[in-house]
Homo-oligomer: A and B are copies of this chain.
Amino acid sequence: MTLGAHAVGRAGCPLCDAAGGRLVHEAAHYRVVHADEPGFPAFYRLVWREHVREFSDLAPEARAACMEGVTAIEACLREHLAPTKVNLATLGNVVAHLHWHVIARFDWDSHFPAPVWAAPQRERDALREAELAARLPDMELALVARLRSL
């Protein structure tokens, strides 16, 4: 994907060089991608367009726009998938290009209630994962509409 005339890319940064997932929506200052994370079908990321290291590097209005995007994802996940809980995180220890993880968690998922980065709590449930994945297209249609309205 192209990052646009205003983007500041950093050579060798995987989130400057590639989308970082299946592109769902591209907004002025960020993109939303579906992350291919086995065991967690409803795992999305908001990737800030510019190569910025920490959340506090953003100006106040940019922070607000960023979190309204994150909130739109969370709200759509809740409305369409009724998760047990939504998890939000920006870590960036490996790829220090600002990105937010927005993850719908379910009490049947392999790690719940532990974080997705912790040790699994049980076997994966392929049937429930497939049922969940089948509901993503409708959710994403609503999400794109919501993101466009911001």
Contacts and interface: CB of A to CB of B under 8 A. Distances in A.
Interface of A: 53-56, 60, 63-64, 67-68, 70-71, 74-75, 78, 84-94, 96, 105, 112-115, 117-119
Chief secondary structure at chain A's binding surface: mixed
B91 A90 contact: no
A125 to B, nearest CB: 17
A85 B93 contact: yes
Nearest to A87: B91
A98 to B, nearest CB: 10
A89 B89 CA distance: 4
Copies per assembly: 2
A96 B117 CA distance: 18
B115 A114 contact: no
B114 A93 contact: yes
A56 B93 CA distance: 26
A54 B67 contact: no
A43 B93 CA distance: 16
Nearest to A94: B113
A120 to B, nearest CB: 12
